[in-house]
Amino acid sequence: MVLLAVKEVFTILKVEIAGKEANEVKLKVEVPHEQVETALNQAYMKMRNDFSVPGFRKGKVPRDLIEKRYGVEVFYEETANILLQQSYPQALDEQKLDPVARPDIEVEQLEQGKPFIYEAKVTVKPEVTLGKYQGLKVAREEPTVEQKDVDAELDRIRDSRAKLVAVEEGQPAQKDDQVIIDFTGRMDGEEFEGGSSSNYPLVLGSGSFVPGFEDQLEGAKAGETVTVSLTMPEDYGNEELAGKEVEFTVEVKEVKRKQYPELNDDFAKELSEEFESLQALKDKLKDQLQHNADHQAEHKQRDEIIAAVRDKSKVDIPSVMVDDEVEAMVQQMENRFARQGMKLEDYLKYSGQDLEQLRQQMRPEAESSVKTELVLDQLAETENIQVETEDLENEIERLAQSYGQKPEQIKSALAGSGQMPQMEQAVLHRKVMDWLVEHNSK
């Protein structure tokens, strides 16, 4: 049954706590028979197009005639849905309950002329017992960017600008060279599925292939055919090949090597008109690296503070909250792979695990994440930290600048997708973290 928000004031005859254990509450709700009759009529209006009776146009069959033919029970399921949609949110509000999952509903009585009675098993937000959360004296690192860091960044940029050029005829392949290869894999003399490819570009030393494959191509020359023999890893995704001896016939078609540009003023000018010299580029890189290092130090301190506060707090987390967080993490991973043109199924196959194993692997992180949010919520309540209108406006302005849109567009998009509450919570948690840093920095 799908539960929606209350659309209008609804009269509930009685709501009582039928049982409570840990984070699970049983609600018993009784709705007056007058409301049942109203809901029956609403169910008829919604379902009347489903009935065809000779002599009546579709949707025009009177309710009493439908009930005579099929019984009033034909409307009961839809009636129950309507009554639940109207009464359940109101029952939660009356008992001041904060659910974290869909309820388990058991209808005890639904009959024309009688009250509607049901029991709802509700998993509620758990209570958090905060430990020490002030005066923890967590120090923040003060990173210093050295010349070697700037040089390493320059090398990275230079590497990204390098061109792959075919080596002179007869020169052997070496580590970091790219070889273009055709290969065929065999086990016990028989080709195996997925073990062959043509014109495959492979960078030696990249670790793209199973261990031992790339090493045996070092020293090979263009035009040569090399036999690569190795033992497949025990944890290889294909169980038929795991731990087995295989052999690859590899034809080396080309050997290419990176040709690097010179580090000079011209190199800097080609990167951007902003730089008039190589020194100007180095100065800019140093500023950027310092900014990034400071940013990372700030985040590290924040992480250490919230970890300390979280570890000192106690909370019995309902498993359903962890389950939901795990599913959200799986979805995020799936979306990330999709943006890269990959599928989650391919990753699972390559890593030699199934979806359930992935979920179990994610569970500790999911539990930590849920506990962090619960602790931050409790801190906000304890210290009366609230999100003001100005906070929301600032966040919307920040998002607008980030996406190159107008604030009105961002606000409309958030409201339209129902993500405004999530944004408000994110802003609240950031304010709580700012408060924690202020009260726990060394």
pLDDT > 70? residue 313: yes
Residues 10/116, Cβ–Cβ less than 8 Å: no
Q: Which stretches does DSSP call E strand in 216-305?
A: 225-231, 245-259
Neighbouring CB atoms inside 10 A of 431's CB total: 19
- pLDDT bin (cut points 50, 70, 90) of residue 10 is low
Distance CA 366, CA 382 (A): 24
- pLDDT bin (cut points 50, 70, 90) of residue 25 is very high
How confident is the model over 398-425, as pLDDT tens digits? Answer: 999 999 999 999 999 999 999 999 999 9
What six digits make up the tokens of 295?
A: 């940013």
Distance CA 424, CA 433 (A): 14
User: How many angstroms from the chain centroid is the CA of residue 409?
Assistant: 24
Residue with token string 């055709």: 182
Distance CA 393, CA 223 (A): 65
pLDDT > 90? residue 360: yes
Helix (H, G, I), strand (E, B) or coil at 237: coil
Chain-wide mean pLDDT for the chain? 92
Neighbouring CB atoms inside 10 A of 138's CB total: 19
**Residue 204 pLDDT:** 95
Task: Enumerate residues 6+ apart whose C-beta is below 8 A from 405.
Answer: none
- pLDDT bin (cut points 50, 70, 90) of residue 2 is very low
Q: How far apart are the first and last CA of the chain?
A: 52
pLDDT > 80? residue 19: no
Helix (H, G, I), strand (E, B) or coil at 194: strand
Tell me the whole-structure pTM to 2 decimals. Answer: 0.73
Residues 79/40, Cβ–Cβ less than 8 Å: yes
Average pLDDT over residues 216-238: 92
Distance CA 107, CA 98 (A): 22
Distance CA 49, CA 46 (A): 8
Domain positions in the chain are 14-124, 163-259, 385-442
pLDDT > 90? residue 395: yes
Task: Enumerate residues 6+ apart whose C-beta is below 8 A from 72.
Answer: 40, 112
Q: What is the DSSP string of 121-190?
A: EEEBPPPEE----S---B--------HHHHHHHHHHHHHHT-EEEEPPTTPPP-TT-EEEEEEEEEETTE
How confident is the model over 231-252, as pLDDT tens digits? Answer: 999 888 788 888 999 999 999 9
**Residue 342 pLDDT:** 86
pLDDT > 80? residue 1: no
Average pLDDT over residues 205-233: 93
- DSSP letter for 49, please: G
Tell the CATH topology of 163-259.
Chitinase A; domain 3 (3.10.50)
Tell the CATH topology of 14-124.
Alpha-Beta Plaits (3.30.70)
CA separation, residue 94 to residues 29, 91, 300 (Å)? 11, 5, 42
Closest CA to 41 of 69, 11, 62, 57: 62
Distance CA 154, CA 148 (A): 10
- pLDDT bin (cut points 50, 70, 90) of residue 174 is very high
Distance CA 229, CA 357 (A): 32
pLDDT > 80? residue 9: no
> For residues 65 and 8, which has the higher predicted lDDT (pLDDT)?
65
Average pLDDT over residues 332-341: 92
What six digits make up the tokens of 55?
A: 């002599």
**Residue 46 pLDDT:** 93
How confident is the model over 276-309, as pLDDT tens digits? Answer: 999 999 999 999 999 999 999 999 999 999 999 9
Average pLDDT over residues 144-160: 95
